[in-house]
Amino acid sequence: MSSVAKDSPKFPVSAIPEALRKDVHVVMREDQMVFTIHSKSRATYHVYQAITIFNANGKRFAQETVGYDKLSKVTSLKAAVYDAEGMLIKRLKSSEIYDQSAYDGYSLYNDNRIKRIDLSQSTYPYTVEFEYDIEFRYLFFIPDFYVVTRENVSVQHSVCKYVFPKELAPRYRSYNIDVKPVSQPADGLESLSWTFENILPIKLDPMGPDLQYVLPHIDGAPTQFEYEGYVGTMDTWDQFGQWIGTLNSGRNVLPEATKQKIRALTAQAKTDEEKIKILYEYMQSKTRYVSIQLGIGGFQPFEASVVDQTGYGDCKALSNYMVSMLKEVGIPAHYVLIRAGDDASPMDTDFPSSQFNHAIVSVPNKGDTLWLECTSQTNPFGYIGTFTGDRKALVITDKGAKVVNTKRYPADQNVQSRTADVYVAATGDAQAKVTTTYRGLQYETNYVHAAVNLQYDDQRKWVQNHTAIPSFDVNSFSLVNHKDKMPSAQVLLDLRLSRFASVNGKRIFLTPNLMNRSTFVAEKVDARKMPVVLESGFTDLDTIRYHLPDGVYPEFLPEPVKITSRFGEYESRCILDDKGLLYVRRLKQVKGQFPAESYKEFADFYKGVNKADNVKIVLLSKT
Amino acid sequence: MKALIFGLHLALLAPLCAVAQKSPVKFGEIPMVDMTMKIYDKDSSASAVILSDYGEAYVTVTAVNITLSFERHVRIKILKKDGFDQADVEIPLYREGSEEERITKLKATTYNLENGKVVETDLSKDGIFKEKFNRNINLQKFTFPNVKEGSVLEYSYTLVSEFFTNFPDWQFQYDVPVRWSEYWALFPEYFAFQKYMQGYLPPAIYEVKPKNSTDFRIDAHHWVMKDVPAFKDEPFITCKNDYVSKINLALSHITIPGQPVREIMGTWQKLNTNLLESEGFGKTVTGSGFLKKKAEELTTGMTDPQQKVAAIFAYVQKSLEWNGTKDIYADNLKTIFENKKGTAADINVALASMLEKIDIPVDMVLLSTRDHGFVREQYPMSSQFNYAICIVTLGDKTLLLDATDRFLPMGILPERCLNGRGLVISKTKHGWIDLKPNAKARTVINTELVLNPTGELKGKVKYTHEGYAAREFRQAYFAKGEQEYMKGFLADKAWDIESSEFQNQTEITQSVNQVHALLINEHVTVAGGMIYMNPFVVGQTKENVFKLETREYPVDFGKPEEKTYLCRLTIPDGYAVEELPKPKVMMLPNNAGRYTYSVSQTGNMVNIVSMLQINKSMFVMDEYPNLREFYNQIVAKQAEQIVLKKL
């Protein structure tokens, strides 16, 4: 950071062009990153930022976190803060840098550490300035550069620059950017740089596409690289896969006793699938997930023999162990790298680079591919759900790697179906017997897939917290787990509903939608520009039989409702018959991407659903 | 905690080493019944059970130093996969300067039953890690190998510490049941300890056995608890740590023959004296001379002391931002004012210091915030406190001040401070003071709506937030800005807003209002000449928050609450009221809670007023069934409908 006399202004807010100050929380006055490749095993990363923060919404920009580990070092870290006139308030002292373990919440041990700085002020606007350098004793990835990271941010000046020897030129890909990189050779090194000036804030629409499709950014990746002695190239997925293959190579040796054991276990199995299931469940019973990430261990699995001996490992180790066992009984299987998480942004299939956070296993199984999640002791065989289902993943093969889509879960297989008998008394109190089955991705609705494995007391709490009825007591309940490839959970409830129906004089009001009322309201948006994305497809079926007290007749029965749209279908109706009242509801939502102009139609669809779901029946007492 | 280097004349003392007690179980000898156990008979739902938890703490005095040793031996049965997290063990080790607690003699073994035989797997060194967590804490972690349903895990270690005043507390209760928990604390006669038990479970054994070693006596305190149930967390409790069964220990003083008594803990009176003389506390209040000029400048021309206090309070509240840290000691105030932010102690010591400069009678008050647990007044240990505020005395009036929250007016403490009593640190007024809420969380929703025959409602909804409710509103409003606030506000409402107005957002001494002019289309049912409408267009209590039938710990609301909803409805021409909800009044015993629902009609106007008051913050377990039923009835009442009929 250049030294400035304490009394001369450096970042006066008045120097920001008026247009960049409209509708912003922060302005990036300067945002520079330089990634320098020194050799295929050494790189440095330089960041310089000056950010003016206008209000509390921009507070996070005053906080910087710099990560490092055993193979990377923060070689310098400086920061300062300036007032609205651009006068220095203070420079950061080294004692104000908080250095701590980057506890990720699940790793037992990793060597990632962070340095954290907080320069936030209480008087706005103010400007923070950060400058730091990191030295990497490896080359494997290049940090992404986002010109704009969120709404209400404008950019005055920003630069992304790569410096490299000619033979180690990195690959790059830019998104939502029309600036072309400029090449400037200097000191025997090549360089590429993108410069951005006066970028206005962007506006994001709710329920829009993943941010990586919308925000302007540049991704980079090395060609040749080296990580703790493991050399590779990643111009193609095949090359990337070969490098992973090298890391994994020789790590699939099982102890002789285990070999014999798994052969014996599978000896009686009639089909391959049966064998795979036996070994999967054996793996589940023998191991547990313990995450230990050290150096190359962030990418290389423990040896199968270590997992066999200790009974634990992380996703890589357990997946490698599973592949090793399958190989032993003659079933080919692949180690798979994937981006896990129900809101993970999709893999960029056209840009080979380190993009993954998880490993699973795929078994070709003669065309009927099976996907195995190896880090859970309770996961049903063959089920991968919202964690890794329906997305692109990298299957590591003998020759290299292939990009494949994992198992899909279409809307008509993700079904929540419910039947109930409700006995309503004239006082408004009621008894209800409810059976709900959660199938497909709905197996994960309200974490019922976890609840089925809980202790009785905790299951009871789950029932109490996830039964959407205003006030009730639980007489009894049970949860049943069906661990199939398309798994399901069944929840049986016997409930006492106090004042379920509202009794006003001679009238009884009752909402026939017992416990599945939609409350979703689409946010109002003017002039939507982005497509509408529905992340999941599902179907809900409710069939509720009401047994009514004697001597009442309906004053008002709602008309049947049927709504059809490109987003899904909805139907509900009340039928009065000799046994009482029957309520039937069906809601289907499909997964997909829809044009921006369909947003109002989408909002109206749910408006209609909400209205129909909240409709009441009015009963009159004959006396 | 500091490592105290004592100038002990150790020539007087022979090396002291307590004769170790015995763990009730021997390492490696697992009874077959525990190996074959499938469910724990005292709690069939348990995912794991701690079969035996044994600890022993003693000090060793040698010619050069005093060390504290803590031996631990734990045996755990894993019953279900849910219980696997018991296999990851984490021991925090305190460090300061070059001194650090350390683990010795770590042993850990997994036992599995395979074909009727017990197979042992020892902890491998790949499974042991030490991690620096922050400046003062390292974590010694290890993970057991080969853990399965049915495994028995056993570990033992000795923790050796130079911080010998830091005698370990002992927790009897965990989130899995404990079959046997035993603790020996061996206090040398020269060391006097204070101890207190917390939680709802009594120990099965508590005894003190004198033991003679070579030269002096040891008091061996011995606690045993058997069949300790698992601790279950519940909503609306202040702090889990208040309720688990635990014995807390603290060294109070050391008396060595021929030497003056060394106070470690002392008395509240001594703490008072010490703090008044401490840097970062009393000294910083009376010192910090640089603040005098500003304090005088801010109060120039003022004669009313209350006005002066208000001016200084407003200045500190505005100039210093709270960084979220709760503490007792302030740093250098000059730096704090340069950085414009600080901890709770930084800010409130600064406030006190400025008040002191203009001769306002001010003292500091120590307290324990709600998440930090109760204060036990009979145990004078400063570690019970984690926060400091100010008290100002003006004539016969006292004012408690905390300048850490920008959205609370002077004299109203943040909710986190409302926790029992605080200790006034003062030359003249030392003693305890109640930390009671001076305000409610009060919200009034006033609706004026005109209903037309198609079921559309048009009109105004006005919210008034007062006291803690106003604070909550301002916090949300200023954290996000008006646009984002409205987005969140409308997220669950199908309203067409025509205009919105906010009033008094920044006038924190006044209530804050929001007024929305709107159209509501989705609320009313019109059918066959009838109109049905719930008078609550918003603010209806739709579900009882107290879902569980019974309660193990008190319910704590924190502060009194009041929620009022007014409905002024104009019914359409050509319609008459067919039925209205009935008025209702309910009360909890001793007026702890009150609900009124009143209804009236004048011409084509229907007026409904619903008012819920919770007048006290803490409800004990016996009161829970009443409280739950009270809410059940509110839910039912608020679900009732207005029925209109076409003429």
pLDDT digits (tens, 9 = 90+) for A592-605: 999 999 999 999 99
Burial status of residue A97 (CB atoms within 10 A of its CB: 0-12, 13-18, 19 or more):
middle
Q: Is B527 on the interface with A (CB under 8 A)?
A: yes
AA letter at B614 = I
Average pLDDT, chain B: 87
Q: Would you list the DSSP string of A105-131? A: SSEEEE--EEEEEE---SSSSEEEEEE
Residues 24-43 of B with CB under 8 A from A: none
Residues 519-548 of A with CB under 8 A from B: 519, 521, 523-524
The number of residues making up chain A comes to 623
Compute the distance between CA of residue A602 and CA of residue A535 in angstroms, rounded to an integer. 14
- Say if domain A235-405 classifies as CATH 1.10.3720.10: no
What is the model's pLDDT at position A7? 66
What is the CATH number for B365? Answer: 3.10.620.30
Q: How far is B263 from chain A (nearest CA, A)?
A: 33
Report if residue B26 sits inside a domain.
no
Do B593 and B520 fall into the same domain? yes
User: How would you list the strands of the sheet with B530-533, edge to edge?
Assistant: B525-527, B530-533, B642-646, B575-579
Report if residue B24 sits inside a domain.
no
User: Among partner residues A90, A498, A610, which is closest to B339 by beta-carbon distance?
Assistant: A90
User: Among partner residues B82, B320, B579, which is closest to A453 by beta-carbon distance?
Assistant: B82
Q: pLDDT of B243-297, one tens digit each?
A: 788 888 877 788 877 777 777 767 889 889 989 998 889 999 999 999 999 999 9
What is the model's pLDDT at position B442? 96
- Determine which of B641, B645, B646 to mutate to test the interface with A (most A C-beta atoms within 10 Å): B641
Q: How far is A604 from chain B (nearest CA, A)?
A: 11
Q: How far is A395 from chain B (nearest CA, A)?
A: 29
Contacts of B45 (CB under 8 A, 6+ apart): A455, A456, A457, A458
* β strands within B44-127, DSSP E: 48-61, 66-78, 88-96, 99-100, 102-114, 117-122
CATH 2.60.40.3140 placement within chain A = 13-227
pLDDT at A4 over 70: no
Compute the distance between CA of residue B185 and CA of residue B136 in angstroms, rounded to an integer. 25
Q: Do B641 and A454 lie within an 8 Å CB cutoff?
A: no
Report if residue B286 sits inside a domain.
yes
- Structural domain containing residue B99: 33-262
- End residue of a domain, out of B262, B289, B322: B262
Do B303 and B240 fall into the same domain? no
Contacts of B221 (CB under 8 A, 6+ apart): B184, B185, B186, B187, B193, B195, B206, B207, B208
Residues 36-55 of A with CB under 8 A from B: 55
% of chain A with per-residue pLDDT over 90: 75
% of chain A with per-residue pLDDT over 70: 97
CATH architecture of A412-621: Sandwich (2.60)
Q: Would you list the DSSP string of B426-444? A: -SS--EEEE---SS-EEEE
Report if residue B520 sits inside a domain.
yes
Helix count and strand count (H, E) for chain A: 9, 39
Size of interface A-B (CB pairs under 8 A): 169
- End residue of a domain, out of B434, B468, B494: B434
Contacts of B617 (CB under 8 A, 6+ apart): B418, B437, B556, B557, B558, B559, B560
* β strands within B229-279, DSSP E: 246-254, 262-263
User: Among partner residues B141, B341, B479, which is closest to A108 by beta-carbon distance?
Assistant: B141
Residues 599-618 of A with CB under 8 A from B: 607, 610-611, 614-616, 618
Q: How many CA atoms lie within 13 A of B131 on its CB side?
A: 27
Query: In the predicted model, what is the mean pLDDT of residues B58-86?
Result: 86
User: Among partner residues A56, A288, A428, which is closest to B147 by beta-carbon distance?
Assistant: A288
Label residue A562 by pLDDT band (50, 70, 90). Answer: very high
pLDDT at B540 over 80: yes
Left if phi > 0, otherwise alpha if psi is -120 to 50, otherwise beta: which for A261? alpha
Q: Do A556 and B47 lie within an 8 Å CB cutoff?
A: no
CATH 3.10.620.30 placement within chain A = 235-405
- Determine which of A55, A126, A471 to mutate to test the interface with B (most B C-beta atoms within 10 Å): A471
What is the model's pLDDT at position B557? 85
The least confident of A70-79, A269-278, B266-275 is B266-275
Set of chain B residues whose Cβ sits within 8 Å of the Cβ of A558: 525, 527
CATH architecture of A13-227: Sandwich (2.60)
Report if residue B345 sits inside a domain.
yes
3-state secondary structure of A528: coil
ipTM value: 0.71
Domain count of the fold of chain B:
3
What is the model's pLDDT at position B164? 78
Q: Is A377 on the interface with B (CB under 8 A)?
A: yes
3-state secondary structure of B350: helix
Do B467 and B410 fall into the same domain? no
Compute the distance between CA of residue B600 and CA of residue A298 in angstroms, rounded to an integer. 70
Do B56 and B183 fall into the same domain? yes
Report if residue B20 sits inside a domain.
no
Q: How far is B231 from chain A (nearest CA, A)?
A: 12
pLDDT at B191 over 70: yes
Set of chain B residues whose Cβ sits within 8 Å of the Cβ of A103: 133
Average pLDDT, chain A: 92
Please name the residue of chain B whose CA is at the shortest distance from the CA of residue A54: B481
What is the model's pLDDT at position B350? 96
Do B302 and B382 fall into the same domain? yes
Q: Is A456 on the interface with B (CB under 8 A)?
A: yes
What is the model's pLDDT at position B214? 59
Do B420 and B453 fall into the same domain? no
The least confident of A119-128, B20-29, B310-319, B402-411 is B20-29
Report if residue B346 sits inside a domain.
yes
Cis previous bond, A554, omega within 30:
no
- End residue of a domain, out of B228, B262, B296: B262
Strands A312-313 and A288-289, how do they pair?
parallel
User: Among partner residues B143, B320, B528, which is closest to A290 by beta-carbon distance?
Assistant: B143
Do B339 and B428 fall into the same domain? yes
Label residue B215 by pLDDT band (50, 70, 90). Answer: low
Do B630 and B492 fall into the same domain? yes
Query: In the predicted model, what is the mean pLDDT of residues A169-180?
Result: 94
Q: Do B530 and A556 lie within an 8 Å CB cutoff?
A: yes
What is the model's pLDDT at position A160? 97
What is the CATH number for B447? Answer: 2.60.120.1130
Compute the distance between CA of residue A204 and CA of residue A196 in angstroms, rounded to an integer. 20
What is the model's pLDDT at position B15? 37
Label residue B19 by pLDDT band (50, 70, 90). Answer: very low
